[in-house]
Structure 1
Amino acid sequence: MSPDSADLPAPPRHPSLVGRGPRAARVAVALGLVLLGLWTLHGFLPALAWAVILAIAMWPLYRRVRRRIPVHGHGILLPALFATAIALLFLLPLGLLAIQAAREAGALLHWAAEAERNGLPLPEWLATLPFFGAQATAWWQENLADPGGAKEVLARLNNAELIDAGRQLGANLAHRAVLFGFTILTLFFLFRDGEALVAQALRASARLLGPAGERVARQMVASVHGTVDGLVLVGLAEGLLLGIAYAVAGVPHPTLLGAVTALAAMIPFAAPLVFGIAALVQVAQGAVTAGAAVFGFGLLVVFVADHVFRPALIGGATRLPFLLVLLGILGGVETWGLLGLFLGPAIMAALALLWQEWTSEQPT
């Protein structure tokens, strides 16, 4: 460097470059911390997501009750009551199902013991099956009607394999119980601090997405409400109607089967599998007319629910075509499991609103 170069003025700095490096570093650090936090909590993310969905679904009722009941002290009584009520809403039906399953397990063991001693009698309807009725009858006579053959078939259920399956089931149930407890605990804090969290979420969405951010957040919340009404409430109504139909038709254990139908009806196209099995049970018992009536009534209930009530409830809340709602539900279930029932439509609603904002003639 020559001596004269020290007297030269420094080159001008472009205004757009000032602060770009520090800002990019802050964004990178923030993004890294977010990813690190998600990775740390990835085992509990489903529990957190379920807590948020339940809080959104119950928030209007919670606010209504909170307006009528004054808050004293730290305001933990009402959130605790709501969280406990929601926990019981899940635990009581599961407990009844577990009791019924234990009773059925005893009957199944008795049936297996009788089969080993006397064999299984050939059902009358088996020979009437088209195409393969003769082959099915011959197989049954050879393997199940004779006590020795039935004992051999039942002996193929390896006790060691059953014990291992029981251990895995127990570990899975323990893990689910921990996640459920964490969901209820998170739900308590969401109820207690809900108003502050809602305000923070709206500010964050506005900063991330601009003027449309708050509308996107509200649209996603409306989508969750519509999905809860369209899937959960309609599914429960389907289960109730079909449970009554099971009882009238003489299907075994109509209450338990109605509860299973209600759970299946919350997933599109899953309910026909349950009432189809119920119809087959009736046909197997010789009640062909009752089985056909159960199946036909089930198809009618599902058709009305899927083409009248669900489009009105979900599409009306999200202002989405039912095709997008259906794609969101099915794609969400495939990607996220049961969480996708609610996350899928919410994501579709947010994307549809953003698309409307980006393609509108006059920007808002």
Structure 2
Amino acid sequence: MMPTALQANVGKPLTLGAVALLTAWVLSPFATPIIAGACMAVVSQPYLQKALRLGISLRIAVLLNTLLWFVLLALPAWLIVGGAAPALAHVLHNPPQADEIAGWFRVIPFVGDSAAQAVAHLLGSNSPAEWLKQWLTEHSGVLKDSAKHLWILILHIAVALLVMDGISYHAGALSSALERGLTRLTGDAAFVGAALNLCAQSIQSVLGGMIGVALFCGVGVGLIMLGVGLPYAVGWAVAVAMASLIPMGTSIVLVIASVMLLATHGFVPAVLLFGLGHGVVWIADFWVRPYLIGARTHTPLLLTLMSILGGIEVFGLIGLILGPVIVLTALGLWRLWERSHVDDTFSGT
């Protein structure tokens, strides 16, 4: 029995929708690197087009673009390992004595004696090296999980680079297919084209803002680190820049660096690094990031900040990108509709 036209019209979308949902479910463990890779591909498109106009083949241009992103991701890790890691290893292999550690806290105004007693009680009769060894033994499970997460992070970075490479190489075909599909769903080719352009602009604004924040934090906190005399300040500054891409990441780096500075240079430089460093991070998170993300699309600062915080709350880490992209695209579509409505009103239609 042949299906009726109504059954065909209903059955095809339902089938396609079911297949799409199953595909999304299968790929959901890699949602973050897939979205990140797609965003990186969108940001890279203007530069790939410039390379093509210079006569560079598409395959070579995409390969160079992928290598550049790999260097941007791998170089900071190399600088951290070559800079900050030796300083941390030096402290671990030459640990100060318990009395010396308590003395660092005793100079803190008002609460110094209480802090020193608490530290002495925490260390007990063990030396710092023995206490650290005991702590590592007790928390071996957590450390193993952290190592596992590190391998997952490396895998996700590799997936993001591969996704970006594939999308960049087939950008023309993928863009045409997406535009045709959305046009069939909406019946308005002009609207679809405008929506895709707005989405691309939003992605470029968001990633551009994230890169700007990383540079702001890296340079600002790096200058403070140089000023207070932190060893391997360049490596630590790169660590701060990379950590600024994730919530609370910069605070973790600043705490570790401040503790090391406390061990080598005393209380005042450590407090200056901790306080001024967090001041730079606060300015970056609550002013620089929203300003850079919203400047290109003329989005209000408060709305951009709320989209960042709301995106993290709803989507997790990838919400740093998805939240602002969704809100900026929605605002752009609203403005587009508003302009078209005003034009229709004045034209008498």
TM-score relative to the length of structure 2:
0.80
CA distance in 1, matches of 2:200, 2:308: 16
CA distance in 1, matches of 2:10, 2:29: 30
Q: 2:7 aligns with which of 13, 21, 28?
A: 21
Q: Give 1:190 deviation, angstroms.
A: 1.6
The answer on whether the counterparts of 2:297 and 2:328 sit within 8 Å (CA) in structure 1 is yes
The reply on whether 1:198 has 2:148 as its aligned counterpart is: no
The answer on whether the counterparts of 1:207 and 1:213 sit within 8 Å (CA) in structure 2 is no
5 Å-filtered alignment, 1:1-364, equals: 19-71=5-57, 75-100=58-83, 102-104=85-87, 106-112=89-95, 115=97, 119-130=98-109, 132-142=111-121, 144=123, 148=126, 153-154=131-132, 156-157=134-135, 159=137, 161-162=139-140, 164-209=141-186, 210=188, 211-266=190-245, 285-286=265-266, 288=268, 291-292=271-272, 295-296=275-276, 299=279, 303=283, 306-307=286-287, 310-356=289-335, 361=341
Q: Over aligned residue pairs, what C-alpha RMSD do you find?
A: 3.5
Greater mean deviation of Cα atoms: 330-339 or 215-224: 330-339
Aligned partner of 1:33: which letter?
Answer: V
Aligned partner of 1:219: which letter?
Answer: L
Deviations 1:282-314 (A, max 9, x none): 67744637844874586368548854x545532
Deviations 1:25-48 (A, max 9, x none): 222111101001111111222221
Q: Give 1:102 deviation, angstroms.
A: 4.8
Structure 2's unaligned 5+ residue stretches are 345-349
The answer on whether the counterparts of 1:281 and 1:291 sit within 8 Å (CA) in structure 2 is no
User: Which structure is larger by alpha-carbon Rg, 1 or 2?
Assistant: 1
Q: Assess, with a 3 A threshold, how the Cα gap between structure 1 residues 273 and 101 changes in structure 2: closer, same or farther.
A: closer
TM-score relative to the length of structure 1:
0.77
Structure 1's unaligned 5+ residue stretches are 1-17
Q: Assess, with a 3 A threshold, how the Cα gap between structure 1 residues 183 and 246 changes in structure 2: closer, same or farther.
A: same
Q: Which has the bigger relative contact order, CA under 8 A and spacing at least 6?
A: 2
Aligned partner of 1:193: which letter?
Answer: H
CA distance in 2, matches of 1:276, 1:175: 25
Tell me how many residue pairs correspond in the alignment: 337
Q: Give 1:90 deviation, angstroms.
A: 0.8
Deviations 1:143-176 (A, max 9, x none): 54x75465774464253742x4454344333333
Q: Assess, with a 3 A threshold, how the Cα gap between structure 1 residues 272 and 363 changes in structure 2: closer, same or farther.
A: farther
The answer on whether the counterparts of 2:219 and 2:237 sit within 8 Å (CA) in structure 1 is yes
Aligned partner of 2:298: which letter?
Answer: R
Q: Give 1:122 deviation, angstroms.
A: 4.5
Greater mean deviation of Cα atoms: 122-131 or 184-193: 122-131
In terms of fraction of residues, the more helix-rich structure is 2
Q: Assess, with a 3 A threshold, how the Cα gap between structure 1 residues 151 and 340 changes in structure 2: closer, same or farther.
A: closer
